[in-house]
Amino acid sequence: MGKGKVFMHIEMKYGRSHLCLELRDEHVRAVVKSSFPLVSDPEFLIESALHNPIASPGLAEIIKNKRPDSVVIVVNDHTRPTPYNYILPPLLKSLTEAGVEQNAITFLVATGAHRGNTEHEHIESLGASVQSYRIVNHDCRGKLALMGVLSNGCRLEINLLVAEADLVILTGQIAPHELAGFSGGRKSILPGVAGIEAVTGNHALFTAEGIGAGKLDGNPVHRIMMEALNIVQPDFLINVVADSDQRPVYAVAGDPEKAWMTGVDLCRKAVRVSGEKQAI
């Protein structure tokens, strides 16, 4: 450090730890931060969303009408910091109260093209409430069900558990995403539980015009993911927006498209920032 210079110390998250960035004060135009609300009881937030579904009957009514023998809950893999310790207990409670037996429920880890979770990562990622449930890693090269062909010409093959389930519930976290615009929602289907052809076909659009964090209109990655969602037609969704400490600050439940879009609007308001001057 130069003598007499004043430095700003900025702590940045890095993996499970932090790195310290030091910048001279005159080189910092501003420090921008998201405007997340303070939530005292995140689990109550989840319960409230489940009891007030968007554009959809509640889970109890869906289960009463469908009488499912098999329920698949699609969850993110260990690479996504989704706050399942808040999400899953109220969801499982709702299923139990609606009469769904534990042995009817399978957690399907939406690995996309990633490797599967280890047993330790299952518990670390999903929380202790799932230890007695069946948990299966998706295999994008395994035996899959052909559901259709996407507009990019790729076959949409989907995990057999999803294709054959009586009830499919999507879970996840909504945040800006560098390719899809926003995570959550339809990403649980593609790339989450899709075959390798559809996954690589979608990822190959990483240089296409229209992609980028926060961009949905004109985004081909998002469009093809929505095609996959509409082909598969899962039954219900519960997604959250979380703060930098991975505590839910918003929760949406209900129709897999409309509830997610509501969550996207909430996420935009929380993470959008403006600057008085451009940094050069």
The domain ranges of the chain are: 42-271
| Residue 242 bridge partners (DSSP) | 248
- What integer pLDDT is reported at residue 121 of this predicted model? 93
pLDDT value of position 1: 47
Yes or no: say if 55 and 255 are a contact pair by the CB < 8 Å rule: yes
**CB atoms near residue 146 (< 10 Å):** 11
Q: What is the pLDDT of residue 3?
A: 57
Q: Where are the alpha helices (DSSP H) in 173-234?
A: 196-203, 220-232
SS3 of residue 36 by DSSP = coil
One digit per residue, pLDDT tens: the chain, 280 residues? 455 567 788 887 787 788 888 888 877 877 777 778 788 899 999 999 999 999 999 999 999 999 999 999 999 999 888 999 999 999 999 999 999 999 999 999 999 999 999 999 999 999 988 989 999 999 999 999 999 999 999 999 999 999 999 999 999 999 999 999 999 999 999 999 999 999 999 988 888 888 899 999 999 999 999 999 999 999 999 999 999 889 999 999 999 999 999 999 999 988 877 666 676 6
pTM of the model: 0.90
CATH class of segment(s) 42-271 = alpha beta
According to the model, what pLDDT value does residue 251 have?
98
Handedness of CA 84, 122, 198, 106 (dihedral sign): negative
DSSP E strands in the chain: the ranges are 7-14, 17-24, 71-76, 105-110, 134-137, 144-149, 155-159, 167-173, 176-177, 181-182, 236-242, 248-254
CB neighbours of 123 closer than 8 A, spacing ≥ 6?
A: 130, 131
Query: In this structure, is the dihedral angle defined by the CA atoms of residues 65, 71, 77 and 78, taken in order, positive or negative?
Result: positive
Active-site amino acid positions: 114, 177
